[in-house]
Structure 1
Amino acid sequence: MSDPEQPRRSVLYLPASNPRALEKAKTLPVDTLVLDLEDAVAPEDKAAARAAACAAVGSGEYGHRELTVRVNAVGTPWHEEDLAAVAAVGPDAVVVPKVESAEQVREVLDALAAAGAPETTTVWPMIETARAVVHATDIAAGSDRVAALVLGTNDLLAQLRAQPVADRSPLLVAMSMVVLAARAVGAVALDGVYNAVRDEEGLRRECEQARDLGFDGKTLIHPTQVGPCNEVFAPGETEVEAAKGVVAAWEGRDGGGVAVHEGQMIEELHVAQARRVLAVERAIRERR
Structure 2
Amino acid sequence: MPAPTPAPIPGAAPVRPRRSVLYMPAANARALEKARTLPADALILDLEDAVAPAAKAEARERAVAAAASGAYAPREVAIRVNALATPWGRADLAAAARSGADAVVLPKVEAAQQLREAAAVLEAAGAPPGMALWAMLETPRGLLRAADIAETALPRHPLACLVMGTSDLAKELRAAHTRDRLPLLTGLGLCLLAARANGLAALDGVHLDIGDLAGFEAACLQGRELGFDGKTLIHPSTLAIANRVFGPTEAELAEAGRIIAAHAEAEAAGKGVVLLDGKLVESLHVEQAHRQLALGAAIAALAVASPPAPG
CA distance in 1, matches of 2:73, 2:89: 28
The one-character-per-residue Cα deviations of 1:192-238 (angstroms, maximum 9, x if unpaired) are 00011111111100000000000000000011111111010001122
Gaps of 5+ in 2: 1-11, 304-311
Q: Pick from 273, 282, 286: which aligns with 2:297?
A: 282
2:137 paired residue number: 127
Q: TM-score, with normalisation over the residues of structure 1? A: 0.97
> SS of the residue aligned with 1:283?
helix
User: What stretches of structure 1 move > 4 A for 4+ residues in a row?
Assistant: none
The 3 A distance-change label for structure 1 pair 172 and 99 is same
- Please state if 1:148 is matched with 2:161: yes
> SS of the residue aligned with 2:159?
coil
> SS of the residue aligned with 1:167?
coil
Residue 4 (structure 1) shift: 5.1
The 3 A distance-change label for structure 1 pair 6 and 94 is same
Within-5 A mapping of 1:160-239: 160-239=173-252
2:91 paired residue number: 81
2:53 paired residue number: 43
Q: Is the 8 A contact 1:148 1:188 kept in 2?
A: yes
1:271 paired residue number: 286
Structure with larger RCO (C-alpha < 8 A, sep 6+): 2
Residue 117 (structure 1) shift: 0.7
Kindly report the root-mean-square deviation, in angstroms, between the aligned alpha carbons of the 2 structures: 1.3
CA distance in 2, matches of 1:143, 1:208: 32
- State the one-letter code of the partner of 1:169: L
Gaps of 5+ in 1: none
The 3 A distance-change label for structure 1 pair 187 and 204 is same
Within-5 A mapping of 1:37-76: 37-76=47-86
Q: Is the 8 A contact 2:26 2:45 kept in 1?
A: yes
Residue 164 (structure 1) shift: 1.0
Residue 37 (structure 1) shift: 0.4
Q: Is the 8 A contact 1:4 1:276 kept in 2?
A: no
- Please state if 1:99 is matched with 2:109: yes
Q: Is the 8 A contact 2:75 2:302 kept in 1?
A: no
CA distance in 2, matches of 1:160, 1:39: 19
> SS of the residue aligned with 1:125?
strand
The one-character-per-residue Cα deviations of 1:162-217 (angstroms, maximum 9, x if unpaired) are 11111110001110110111001110110000011111111100000000000000
CA distance in 2, matches of 1:4, 1:182: 16
CA distance in 1, matches of 2:191, 2:110: 13
> SS of the residue aligned with 1:132?
helix
The 3 A distance-change label for structure 1 pair 27 and 128 is same
Q: How many residues align?
A: 287
1:240 paired residue number: 253
The one-character-per-residue Cα deviations of 1:231-280 (angstroms, maximum 9, x if unpaired) are 10001122212111111112212124333322222222211110000010
Q: Is the 8 A contact 1:4 1:188 kept in 2?
A: no
Percentage of pairs with the same residue: 52
- State the one-letter code of the partner of 1:110: A
Q: TM-score, with normalisation over the residues of structure 2? A: 0.90
Residue 42 (structure 1) shift: 0.9
The one-character-per-residue Cα deviations of 1:116-169 (angstroms, maximum 9, x if unpaired) are 111111100000000000001111111251111000001000110111111110
